[in-house]
Amino acid sequence: MELRIPNVNVVDNAPVAISVPAGRVTPPLVEEVKTILAAHPGPVEVRMVLTGGDKPLTMRLGDQFRVAKSSALYGDLKAALGPNCLQV
């Protein structure tokens, strides 16, 4: 068995993709997502993927919604949008 030390210097700047059924998108939900994203500012782009139509619709959010990837961010998003809201 080989053990490796994770390289914490590698920065994962792949966009964060948040998947939400289009029917759940309401003004209060949008405000909640904005609040969550604002609480985790950083360099990573965020994309919202609306599901439930013929095919998913992906929207790139503006630069003011860029985030720092963290377990806290992911926990906040999952609490608000459900356990399967993050696409990896």
Which tens digit of pLDDT belongs to each residue from 4-33?
554 444 556 899 999 999 999 999 999 999
pTM exceeding the 0.75 threshold for the entire prediction: yes
Q: What are the beta bridge partners of residue 17?
A: 47, 87
Using the predicted structure, report yes or no on whether residue 88 has a pLDDT greater than 70.
no
How does 17-49 read in b/e, with b if 16+ C-beta sit within 10 Å?
Answer: bbbbeeeeeeeeeeebbeebbeebeeebbbebe
Is the Cβ–Cβ distance between 65 and 46 less than 8 Å? yes
Amino acid of residue 81: L
